[in-house]
């Protein structure tokens, strides 16, 4: 067998997005985990349908990969409505927003991922759309400028962000329903993995699924990605089931340790400990030192490292904990 990671991943990485869509649950009762959110959403959706009204605007916030996009599609399905999807970073002008809003039908869902990345001018146009179901655009310049008002049908805006505090207060206050997405328990991840194995028609042993669940950072997206990589590894070795040996070998191959940390996680911790000598440091500085974007480090890596107790947030900056030193087999004297 060629021991080459690029060859190993060549035919699988490009299919990740396609797989995510194929294994995504479409109804609330199919969604595993986030039980409190499901209960509340079921009440709000049922009441809205009885009143024959669109659901109030919803904001989901929390680390990436916890199901914010999935829940937006589930709400659309449960409300028997259409859905339009966009990203906050792509809505740079009021006209970009108006182009989508003007195509909505009554009761439709408009989902904006990374809504905190919207241009502030676009956010201000969104205020009236959310409250009054109308938008006003200024057409032309100077003395020829005029205001065009467009009436909109009732719709549900669903926003997703890693941190609700990143939104401007006026925008955040216009959401009637706010949900914080939490990391999933190992048992919930276990159930998700077995569901994925059924959908993709490749069985997995209980011990193997548990091993993956422990390394999935409490995140379904990561769990499903690891499942596919371990499945590929098992198939490459001629197996028809994912067993514990294949799982451990694949995790070693992918350099994902027992806490679910990958090379970047460990590099972050080592940079904090060795380069900055364990002193408080900003994540922006750490990101620059390792060649990653600050947004990626802060949104994707830091929350989990804080959650499992490897990093502490202090008024002076971030510091690696004793647990981090022990996990990396480093001493504070190094």
Distance CA 157, CA 137 (A): 19
User: Distance between terminal CA atoms of the chain?
Assistant: 39
Distance CA 192, CA 214 (A): 13
Q: Is residue 162 among the annotated active site residues?
A: yes
Q: How many CB atoms lie within 10 A of CB 129?
A: 22
Q: Is residue 96 among the annotated active site residues?
A: no
Q: Are 120 and 96 in contact (CB under 8 A)?
A: no
The enclosing H or E element of 27 equals: none
Of 217, 221, 228, 318, the active-site residue reads 221
Q: Is residue 68 among the annotated active site residues?
A: yes
Of 70, 162, 196, 271, the active-site residue reads 162
Q: Are 162 and 299 in contact (CB under 8 A)?
A: yes
Of 68, 217, 225, 228, the active-site residue reads 68
Q: Is residue 113 among the annotated active site residues?
A: yes
Of 70, 108, 113, 172, the active-site residue reads 113
Percentage helix, strand, coil for the chain under 3-state DSSP, each rounded to 5: 50, 15, 35
Helix (H, G, I), strand (E, B) or coil at 154: coil
Helix (H, G, I), strand (E, B) or coil at 202: coil
Catalytic residue list: 68-69, 113, 162, 221
């Amino acid at each position: 067998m060629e021991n080459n990671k690029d060859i190993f991943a060549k035919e699988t990485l490009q299919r990740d997005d396609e797989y995510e869509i194929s294994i995504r649950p479409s109804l609330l009762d199919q969604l595993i985990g986030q039980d409190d959110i499901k209960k509340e959403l079921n009440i709000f959706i049922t009441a809205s349908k009885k009143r024959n009204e669109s659901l109030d605007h919803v904001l989901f916030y929390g680390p990436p990969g916890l199901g914010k996009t999935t829940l937006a599609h589930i709400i659309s399905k449960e409300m028997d409505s259409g859905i339009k999807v966009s990203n906050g970073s792509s809505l740079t002008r009021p006209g970009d927003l108006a182009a989508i809003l003007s195509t909505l039908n009554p009761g439709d869902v408009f989902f904006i991922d990374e809504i905190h990345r919207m241009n502030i001018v676009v956010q201000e146009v969104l205020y009236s759309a959310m409250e009054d179901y109308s938008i006003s655009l200024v057409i032309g310049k100077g003395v020829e400028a005029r205001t065009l008002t467009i009436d909109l049908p009732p719709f549900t805006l669903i926003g997703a962000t890693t941190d609700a505090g990143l939104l401007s207060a006026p925008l955040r206050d216009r959401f009637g329903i706010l949900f914080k997405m939490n990391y999933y328990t190992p048992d919930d991840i276990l159930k998700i993995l077995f569901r994925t194995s059924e959908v993709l028609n490749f069985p997995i042993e209980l011990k193997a699924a548990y091993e993956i669940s422990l390394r999935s950072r409490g995140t379904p997206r990561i769990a499903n990605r690891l499942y596919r990589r371990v499945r590929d590894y098992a198939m490459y070795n001629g197996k028809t089931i994912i067993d514990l040996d294949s799982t451990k070998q694949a995790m070693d191959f992918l350099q994902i340790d027992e806490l679910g940390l990958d090379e970047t996680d460990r590099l972050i911790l080592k940079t904090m400990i060795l380069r900055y000598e364990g002193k408080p440091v900003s994540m922006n500085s750490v990101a620059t030192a390792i060649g990653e974007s600050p947004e990626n480090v802060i949104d994707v890596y830091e929350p989990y490292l804080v959650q499992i107790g490897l990093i502490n947030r202090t008024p002076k900056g971030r510091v690696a904990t004793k647990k981090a030193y022990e996990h990396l087999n480093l001493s504070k004297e190094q």
